[in-house]
């Protein structure tokens, strides 16, 4: 992929914790519409890398560019507004709400230009859940009734509802 086509570009991204280089000179590009996975054993630095992209951590070296502009050092809320969403490894659903309702939250409270009413939010939630291959177990609450996969899907779908252009999960 040429540099001009990259929507997200990491250049020699480095993050250290004391003497530990959790992320050491990582470079890659993600184009619009690409779906990629980051794999590695426990402690490989996957979460740290996502924390670098989403602005949770300041880089110790390298640069992260979004549509050709550096976002290194930008606070997480600004990065989110650009359209870079993330979800977390430990799911925290609203337990009294259904899977579908959990997924719809992002459409109701996403980016300012992405906000929609309840009907549209549920339509967006259905699209997000379908993308992640999850069915809505109906009135089953997200906690208790739904299985782990169904619990994990709403946060991911929720990021879709907020219309992020790049998503990071875990």
Ligand X SMILES: Nc1ncnc2c1ncn2[C@@H]1O[C@H](COP(=O)(O)OP(=O)(O)OP(=O)(O)O)[C@@H](O)[C@H]1O
Query: Which residues make up the interface to ligand X (CB under 6 A)?
Result: 17, 20, 22, 40, 42-48
Residue with tokens 């250290």: 16
Show Cβ contacts of residue 38 under 8 Å, excluding neighbours closer than 6 positions: 46, 49, 50
Instruction: By CB under 5 A, name the one of 47, 126, 141, 143 that touches Mg ion.
Output: 47
Q: Shortest Cβ distance from residue 85 to Mg ion (Å)? A: 17
Interacting partner of 88 out of Mg ion, ligand X, none (Cβ under 5 to 8 A depending on kind): none
Q: Which is nearer to ligand X, 47 or 165 (CB)?
A: 47
Which of the residues 107 through 146 are near Mg ion (CB under 5 A)?
none
Label the pairing between strands 166-168 and 20-31. Answer: unpaired
Measure the CA–CA gap between 152 and 158, rounded to whole angstroms. Answer: 10
Q: Which is nearer to Mg ion, 123 or 169 (CB)?
A: 169
Measure the CA–CA gap between 144 and 67, rounded to whole angstroms. Answer: 41
Measure the CA–CA gap between 29 and 67, rounded to whole angstroms. Answer: 11
Interacting partner of 44 out of Mg ion, ligand X, none (Cβ under 5 to 8 A depending on kind): ligand X
Interacting partner of 147 out of ligand X, Mg ion, none (Cβ under 5 to 8 A depending on kind): none
Interacting partner of 2 out of Mg ion, ligand X, none (Cβ under 5 to 8 A depending on kind): none
Q: Is 169 in the site for Mg ion (CB under 5 A)?
A: no
Label the pairing between strands 61-66 and 69-70. Answer: antiparallel
| Cβ neighbours, 10 Å, residue 170 | 13
Positions that interact with Mg ion (CB under 5 A)? 46-47
């Amino acid at each position: 992929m040429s540099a001009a086509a990259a929507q997200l570009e990491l250049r020699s991204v480095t993050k250290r914790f004391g003497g530990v280089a959790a992320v050491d000179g990582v470079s890659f590009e993600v184009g619009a519409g690409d779906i990629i996975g980051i794999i590695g054993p426990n402690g490989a630095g996957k979460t740290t890398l996502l924390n670098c992209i989403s602005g949770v951590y300041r880089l110790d070296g390298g640069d992260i560019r979004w549509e050709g502009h550096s976002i290194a050092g930008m606070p997480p809320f600004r990065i989110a507004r650009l359209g870079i969403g993330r979800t977390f490894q430990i799911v925290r659903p609203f337990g009294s709400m259904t899977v579908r309702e959990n997924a719809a939250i992002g459409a109701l409270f996403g980016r300012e230009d992405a906000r929609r009413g309840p009907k549209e939010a549920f339509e967006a939630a259905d699209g997000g859940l379908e993308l992640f291959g999850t069915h809505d177990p109906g009135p089953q609450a997200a906690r208790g009734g739904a299985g782990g996969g169904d619990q994990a899907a709403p946060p991911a779908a929720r990021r879709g509802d907020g219309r992020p252009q790049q998503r990071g999960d875990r």
